[in-house]
Structure 1
Amino acid sequence: MFGLSAFSPALLGRYLVVGLFNTAASYAFYCALLYAGVAYPLASLGSLLGGIFLSFVTLGRYVFVSRLRGRFSRFLMVWGGLYFLNIGLLNVLIGVGFNPYIAGIVAAPPTIGLAFLLQRFVVFPPAAETPGAESASLNSDNAA
């Protein structure tokens, strides 16, 4: 179906670096809103919404090198599903005795891995497996 290029070390590396950047930027936005006097529930909401949009753009453009038009609803559905899956995993881990902090650490790697797969193959599927196909597709789209 898809070749090994769908899992290249460079792609995985970009995914992790962009994910760290997005997390730091979302947290910085949350802090800036708090500093500006916004109540923490609204600051958290603003940070979440900003983080979702930032992640969509940065993952689509810089990680998966894909056009963005028509993909945002899939992105939201994938992250909605991942949220509920993560909550279920946390519930199981806490139920067998993990404290919530450790459960969050244990649940993160499988959630991150599944997020990569779903974004790679559902939200931003690879172009045809020919060299240059993705960049040619981007050049012809030119817009988000």
Structure 2
Amino acid sequence: MNYPSKIFIRFLIVGVINTLFGYLLFSLLILLNFRYEIAVLISTICGVLFNFKTFGILVFKNKNNTLIFKFIGVYTIIYLMQVFLLKKLISYKINVFIAEALILLPLALVSYTLNKTFVFPKSQKRKM
């Protein structure tokens, strides 16, 4: 039987913390009457800084700060996907809070895959 790797389990745990941080910030900005595009942008920028350290250190055991540029590239892709999906769901008259909640898991899986492949690939080669 294949069990999830320790690194994936850590990613999920840290991802919950990061997701709560990002979602709460996004929700606060929406409640303050920011447009969803701006709320996503601000929460993504803040999330990138917060997530880089938590994923790098706690998940991938990597403190290399020069990887921030690759990490920003991954989050640029995530941001574009997030805005696109929100726009689509909102066009179907889905509440913005529900729409954001619906896309969290698929975007988390994309984030894990891109970070594991492009940002922290050397971390995968070490036994955890």
Contact 1:65/1:134, CA 8 A, preserved across alignment: no
Cα distance in 1 for partners of 2:51, 2:72 equals: 11
* 1:66–1:134 Cα contact (<8 Å) kept: no
Q: For residue 114 of structure 2, what is the aligned residue in structure 1? A: 118
How many Å separate the matches in 2 of 1:126 and 1:50?
26
How far does residue 26 in structure 1 lie from its aligned partner after superposition? 7.2
Query: Following TM superposition, by how much is the alpha carbon of 1:57 offset from its aligned partner in structure 2, in angstroms?
Result: 1.8
Task: Quote how far apart the aligned CAs of 1:83 are.
Answer: 0.7
CA RMSD of aligned residues (A): 3.5
Matches within 5 A, 1:5-84: 8-23=4-19, 51-84=47-80
SS in 2 for 1:71: helix
Secondary structure at the residue paired with 1:70? helix
What letter is aligned with 2:71?
F
Count of residue pairs brought into register by the alignment = 116
Q: Deviations over 1:58-96 (max 9, x none)?
A: 211221223524311010111122111100011111112
The alignment's TM-score, normalised by the length of structure 1, stands at 0.61
TM-score (norm 2): 0.67
The structure with the larger Rg is 1
Cα distance between partner residues in 2 of 1:107 and 1:23: 11
Q: Does 1:107 align with 2:106?
A: no
Distance of 2:79 and 2:73 partners within structure 1:
10
Identity %: 26
Unmatched 5+ residue regions in structure 1?
31-40, 136-144
Structure 2 CA distance for aligned equivalents of residues 85 and 48 of structure 1? 12
Query: Take 2:120 and 2:43, find their aligned partners in 1: how far apart are those partners?
Result: 24
Uncovered stretches (5+) of structure 2, i.e. residues with no partner: 26-33
